[in-house]
Amino acid sequence: MMDLKKLASELPNRYVEEARERGTKIIGYACLATPREVFDAGGFFPYRIRGMSVTRTELADAWLSRFNCGFCRSCLQLALEGAYDFFDGLVETNGCDHLRGMFENWQYAHPRDFFHYIRVPHLTNQDSMDWFVEELELLKEALEKHFEVSITEEDLLAAMSLQGDIADKLRRVYESRWGDEVRVSGGEILALMTLEGSAPAEDFSRLLDEVLAEYPSRPPLKYRARLMLGGSATDEIELVSELESVGGAVVADSFCFGGRIFRGEEPLDGPPLRRLAHRYLYNLMCPRMFDDYARRKAFIDDLIERSRPDGVVLFHNKFCDLHGVENVKLRMDLEKQGVPVLTLEKEYGAAADIGRLKTRVQAFLERLGK
């Protein structure tokens, strides 16, 4: 397989260079509630913002507090350093308050030409659906007006169809670990998941074809125990690889750069934007959603049942209150079901933290008798 981790380690990657040569506009987004099909349909390259495990955040700290999540501070740091200067625009959501702080300080201190805010409802009901459809219409109109493009229903349907194909392929790689033999590591899967947001749809689809053709011929990985990971937004590929180095094969995750990318089918009838709104809003497995713990728990239960981990490791970034609280409840509920759980609070991206985290994960494997 091509070196997915290396490809994922570059911010302005080869896809960005190619897009710039073609004159394709690149729009930065961060939250999984952002329907990338709308950008795909308009001929844009939607690029998902990452923190790249950056830990020196002195520029960002002048705008955000040290009590903000490290992931958001790292993203802002990169933006202020100019690492994301290839963006033609930014699309913000109210994913969480830390994320909003990141976007709004970014736009204030280092503005991009286009900036749009999608107000994502916190509830899932008919009223919130109507609201979200309107929000997506506003996004489409804003893109059309600013960039002087037209996004038709046919464009949207074609983009949705392509994303459907991509999801099918990605799911095949992701779920390949659910048998006894694991041929793709958790670090590689996380790299692939980050590439999903940093390559245009057609390119990512081709990349998946290569992965699907290559991985079955690999020898199975040697592992002591199967692990599922969950928790805060993280793109820390090296962290996952380091944790796997003590003998745990990551077979599933509920990260937002991970298992949460998969969404159920959208309704097959109705206008494309309403179908998209339904698909995104009703499949947002994020603790920022109100009154929705049961659905998130069912999503995790389903992952556990199908991927058969020996234990679950739940992370949260320091100061990530949403996942900090959610992880306590999840740990208590999963342990009641007899699923061993390890919860870890960590600094985002801190290499110095790895030894401390590895000790705990190794002890967890030993606790599992592995």
Q: Which residues bind another protein (CB under 8 A)?
A: 345, 347, 353, 355-356, 359-360, 362-363, 366-367, 369
Nearer to another protein, 218 or 367 (CB): 367
- Least separation, in Å, of the C-beta of 314 and another protein? 14
Angstrom distance (rounded) from CA 233 to CA 346:
12
3-state secondary structure of 226: strand
- The smaller minimum CB distance to another protein, of residues 297 and 360, is found at 360
**Least gap, CB of 326 to another protein (angstroms):** 18
Taking the complex as a whole, the smallest distance from the CB of residue 237 to another protein amounts, in Å, to 20
Report the run of H or E that residue 29 belongs to, with start and end.
strand 26-29
Residue with smaller CB distance to another protein, 104 or 347: 347
Tokens of 141: 């109109």
CA–CA distances in Å: residue 355 to residues 70, 90, 241, 362: 19, 36, 13, 10
Whichever of 272 and 311 has its CB closer to another protein, that residue is 311
78's tokens: 């990169």
Distance CA 234, CA 159 (A): 27
Shortest Å distance, C-beta 309 to another protein: 18
Name the pairing type of β-strands 225-231 and 311-317. parallel
**CB closer to another protein, 256 vs 357:** 357
For the sheet with 114-118, list strands across it: 45-48, 26-29, 89-93, 114-118
**Which is nearer to another protein, 22 or 367 (by Cβ)?**
367
In the complex, the smallest distance separating the C-beta of residue 310 from another protein, rounded to whole angstroms, is: 14
- Compute the least distance from the CB of residue 164 to another protein, in Å: 43
The owner of tokens 């919860």 is 343
Q: State in angstroms the smallest separation of the CB of 243 from another protein.
A: 13
Question: Based on CB atoms, which residue is closest to another protein, 161 or 359?
Answer: 359
Q: Using CA of residue 268, residue 273, residue 274, residue 277, what is the dihedral sign?
A: positive
Q: Which is nearer to another protein, 17 or 366 (CB)?
A: 366
What are the DSSP calls for 287-328, one per residue? TTSTT-HHHHHHHHHHHHHHH--SEEEEEEETT-HHHHHHHH
How many angstroms separate the CA atoms of 223 and 248, rounded?
6
Closest CA to 28 of 76, 73, 92, 81: 92
What's the closest the beta carbon of residue 57 comes to another protein, in angstroms?
Answer: 17
